[in-house]
Amino acid sequence: MTTETPSHYDHLEQMSVHDLLTNINAEDKTVPMAVERSMPQIETLVPEIVKRMKLGGRLIYIGAGTSGRLGVVDASECPPTFGVPFELVIGLMAGGDGAIRKAVEFAEDDAEQAWKDMAPYEPREHDTVIGIAASGRTPYVIGGLQEARKAGLLTGCIVCNEGSAVAKAAEFPIEVVVGPEFLTGSTRMKAGTAQKLVLNMISTSVMIQLGKVKGNKMVDMQLTNIKLQDRAAKMVMSELGVDRAEAKSLLDKFGNVRGAIEGYASR
């Protein structure tokens, strides 16, 4: 597994801060290229997800450790960004929500637990399960994908090694091979960055395909703080040519940018 092979650098403790930062940055620069090489796999998966979500399906991420946390982060950001229900994109990780902050020992080694964690959400045929595992050998993820596939759900994965057990368990594997980590085996670094980039690509492109974006604007975003309220007002002002007072009045009435724009047009 390339994620476990020795770093290209040694004697890290003897490096200056400048050299540490420079060398970490040099390794990080290779990640987007690795993601680019996996683009055909990503491009194959996204339309399949969209097809199922248009039929009422959901997107479910499963993972452990850093990989699991990244899935939870991506899922949790979809409702405020795109105005979708919280149960449309679901992030599950080995050890439960408590493991987001504090690692749960051996939680990732239970091959049956992921499907049990999905059970309360009543998985159905149009759902998609994406397993996230840098190593590609996490039992929690392998077992979850296998059970999901047996149940007729669409399955994909994001891994950072070629030919892994996780990839074999998924119908649509995405393999982003980033090579050795700067700190040997620390997959929260390049592998984690690669996974985050791919998750951004998947969820954002899916939501755009589902009509949750207008132009390049997040017209369905939730207006949960002053910054977002200000951003929304600017969107409405730009789109409709109204002043801030009227934009704010429209937002107060309709609740989001899309509603404000469509409500104004239908007057």
CA distance 79 to 218: 11
Residue 161 backbone phi and psi in degrees, to 5 = -135, 150
The angle at the Cα of 259, spanning 254 to 260, to the nearest 5 degrees, equals: 75
Question: Are the beta carbons of 129 and 202 closer than 8 angstroms?
Answer: no
The length of the chain, given as a count of residues: 267
Q: In 3D, which of 1, 52, 14, 23 has the Cα closest to residue 175?
A: 1
- Cα 219–Cα 197–Cα 20 angle in degrees, nearest 5: 130
C-alpha–C-alpha distance, residues 32 and 224, integer Å = 32
Integer Cα distance of 140 and 133 in angstroms: 9
Question: Of 4, 27, 77, 162, which is the active-site residue?
Answer: 77
77 is catalytic: yes
**151: three-class secondary structure by DSSP:** coil
> What span, in angstroms and rounded, lies between the C-alpha atoms of 75 and 100?
13
Cα torsion at 186, 187, 192, 198 (round to 10°)? 160
Quote the CA–CA distance of 166 and 157 in Å, as a whole number: 7
Please indicate whether residue 108 is annotated as part of the active site: yes
Whether residue 193 contacts residue 179, with contact meaning beta carbons closer than 8 Å, is answered with: no
* Annotated active-site residue in 108, 147, 175, 239: 108
Instruction: Please give the positions annotated as active site.
Output: 77, 108
